[in-house]
Amino acid sequence: MLKQSQNLKQQQKLTPLQLQTIKLLELTTIELEERIKSEIEENPALDEGESDEQKEIDAETEKNEDDFSIKDYLDDEDDSIPSYKSQTHNYSNGNRKFDYALSSGESFQQYLTGQLGFHPLSEHQRNIAIFLIGSIDDDGYLRRDLNFICDDIAFKQNIITNIEELEYILKIIQTFEPTGVGCRNLQECLLLQLNVKQQTQPVINAKKIISEYFDEFTKKHYDRISKKTDINGDNLRNAIAEIVKLNPKPGNIFSDDYSEQGKTIIPDFVLDIKDGELVIELNSYNIPDLHINANYMQMMRQYASKKEKINIHDKETAQFIGQKITSAKYFIDAIRQRQKTLISVINIIVDLQRNYFLSGDENQLKPMILKDVAVRTNLDISTISRVLNGKYIQTYFGIFPLRYFFSESVHTKDGEDVSSREIKAILQKCINEEDKSNPLVDLELVKTLKEKGYNIARRTVAKYREQLNIPVARLRKEI
C-alpha cells in the first residue's frame, strides 16, 4: 500500500565557491599558476593585472550590485544586435612574468636506441629491439615476461617472433651502456657488471657468490657462504667489496634533464627573520592579480540599460556573458580565500614551532598534530591536510615540506612530552655508532633508549626504524 509522508532533515551542501576553494587549496604554487593560466584561456571574462579603471568599475559594481542582474533585462527584446568584441588582457604593463625554464634532453630509451646503429641488425630485428627498449623501466630493468612481450609485439606491431629471437636480441641490448641494462633481475644485473671487470681473484669470488649463493648474500649470511666455499676472511671481505661497488640500478646514472627539472621544488611560503621577528610570506611571485574583463563589464551595462525588448540572440549572448562573469568572480574569490587560509595555517604552524624556526635546531621541534592547528584556526582537519599536501616552506636554513613539522608526542621518564622526531634522531645516532660486526637488535635499542630516558616499546622502535629506512640488525651486519 502506497503512503506519503513528510520528513524534516538537515543536509550539508557546499556552495560553488566552497568547492572551488577546496580544489585550489590542494594545489602547489606551480600547479596554481598553471590552473590560473588555464582558467584565463577558458574564460574570456577573466583578466590578469589590476588597473585604476578596473578599481573604479569594481567599486561601481559593488555599489550598484542590486541593480546589476541578468534577470532584470533578459526578458527584454530588441531586433538590433550591438557590435562588440571579446578581449582579454592577459598581461598588464606593470606585471612582469617569470617562466620556469624546462630543458628536455635525450631520454633513456632514446639513448639506448641510438646504440642499435653499432650492431648489424635486420629491419625486423631492429623493430623488435626498439620494442624491447621501450619495455625497459627507467632504472634499467626489463620486468616484463618475454612470453607476454612476444604476444604484445605481434598484436601491436604485427611482428611475428619467438622467445629464442627475443633472447638473442636482448643479449645484444645487455651489451649497451650503462652496463647491466636490460636485465630481468638484480642477480643478472650484478653478474653482467662483474663479467666486464678485470677478472681478478676478488672479482672471480664475487661472481661465484652472486651466481651460486645469491640468496645467502642478500640475507647477509656470510658464515654460511664461508662454510660452503673456501672463500673466507680477507677473501670474503674483498669479494663483497667488489659487489658493493656495483650499481643495482644502472638506468639511474643516466641524467634526464627534463625529469630532473620536473623534480625542482618551488616553495609555497618564504620565512625570514627581520629585527628578531619571524616574517612569513606567500610565494606569489608568478601568481598574477585577477579581475573581471572591462569589456565584458561594459557589455553587461549596455544590455542592462536597454529599455526595449531584446531578441533571442541577444538573450543568449547576455546569458553567456553573465555566466562567464559569475564564473570569474567565483574563481577570484576562491583564490583570495585560498590565500587567506594558507596564511592562517602557516602562521599557526610557525607560532607553535617558533623556537625551532628561530634556531633551526631540530631538537627544538615540539610535538604537533593536525588537530592542534585545526583547533587554533577553526578549520576542519581535512582542510589542514589539504593545505599541507605537497606544500613547502623556504627558511634561512633550508626548504622543508610542511608535514616535516608534524610529529607525535612521546612521554619521557620525567613526564615531559618530546617529539617523535627527537626519538628518531637519537635512534639514528645509536645505530650509526653501533658495532657493525654485532649490530643492535630492536630489544637492545629499546634498552639503550630507556637508559637515555625514553621508555618506548619494541614495536614502536621497529616502526621508527622502518620509517628511517633502517634494516633489521641482521641486514646491517658487516664483516
- The residue from 274, 301, 336 where one domain ends is 336
Residue 395 falls within a domain, yes or no? no
Residue 38 falls within a domain, yes or no? yes
The pLDDT value given to residue 346: 92
In a shared domain, residues 75 and 119: no
Residue 435 falls within a domain, yes or no? yes
Q: Answer for the pair 269, 391: CB distance below 8 angstroms, yes or no.
A: yes
Distance between CA atoms of 387 and 27, rounded to whole angstroms?
Answer: 8
In a shared domain, residues 106 and 170: yes
Q: Answer for the pair 292, 47: CB distance below 8 angstroms, yes or no.
A: yes
The pLDDT value given to residue 256: 47
Output DSSP code: residue 218.
H
Nearest CA among 229, 142, 140 for reference residue 193: 140
Q: At 468, which CATH number?
A: 1.10.10.60
57 grid coordinates: 568599475
78 grid coordinates: 530588441
Output DSSP code: residue 87.
-
Coil, strand, or helix at residue 195?
A: helix
Q: Answer for the pair 206, 231: CB distance below 8 angstroms, yes or no.
A: no
In a shared domain, residues 225 and 197: yes
Distance between CA atoms of 151 and 438, rounded to whole angstroms?
Answer: 51
The pLDDT value given to residue 63: 53
DSSP secondary structure letters along 129-144: HHHHHHTS-TTSB--S
In a shared domain, residues 193 and 173: no
Distances (CA, A) of 90 to 36, 59, 100, 133, 287: 11, 22, 18, 44, 12
The pLDDT value given to residue 405: 87
> CA angle, corner 110, sides to 104 and 114, nearest 5?
130
Q: Tell me the residue type at 367.
A: P
Query: How, if at all, do strands 409-411 and 417-419 pair?
Result: antiparallel
pLDDT tens for the 479 residues of the chain, in order: 677 778 777 665 667 677 777 888 888 888 888 888 888 888 888 887 655 455 555 555 555 544 444 444 444 444 443 333 333 333 334 344 444 444 445 678 888 888 888 888 888 888 888 888 888 888 888 888 888 888 888 888 888 888 899 899 889 988 888 888 889 899 899 999 998 888 889 888 889 888 888 888 888 888 888 888 888 888 888 888 888 888 888 887 765 444 444 457 788 899 988 888 888 888 876 777 788 878 877 777 776 666 455 565 667 777 788 888 888 888 888 888 888 999 999 999 999 999 889 888 877 888 888 888 999 999 888 888 888 888 899 998 888 998 888 877 776 666 566 777 778 888 888 888 888 878 888 888 888 888 888 888 888 888 888 888 888 887 787 76
Query: How, if at all, do strands 269-274 and 392-395 pair?
Result: parallel
Residue 452 falls within a domain, yes or no? yes
Range of the domain at 441: 409-476
The pLDDT value given to residue 475: 75
Residue 441 falls within a domain, yes or no? yes
In a shared domain, residues 141 and 192: no
The structural domain count of the chain equals 4
Cα 192 to its chain centre, rounded Å, is 34
410: phi then psi, degrees, rounded to nearest 5: -130, 135
Coil, strand, or helix at residue 279?
A: strand
User: Residue 132's beta-bridge partner residues?
Assistant: none
N-to-C CA span, the chain: 83
The pLDDT value given to residue 159: 86
| Count of other CB atoms within 10 angstroms of residue 163 | 12
In a shared domain, residues 33 and 82: yes
In a shared domain, residues 106 and 87: no
Q: Answer for the pair 452, 414: CB distance below 8 angstroms, yes or no.
A: no
Q: Tell me the residue type at 217.
A: F
Nearest CA among 213, 212, 198 for reference residue 245: 198
72 grid coordinates: 532584470
Which residues, at least 6 apart from 367, have a Cβ–Cβ distance to it below 8 Å? 407, 408, 409, 410, 417, 418, 419, 420
Residue 368 falls within a domain, yes or no? no
Distance between CA atoms of 199 and 203, rounded to whole angstroms?
Answer: 6
In a shared domain, residues 174 and 189: no
Q: Answer for the pair 400, 268: CB distance below 8 angstroms, yes or no.
A: no
Output DSSP code: residue 13.
-
Residue 366 falls within a domain, yes or no? no
Residue 369 falls within a domain, yes or no? no
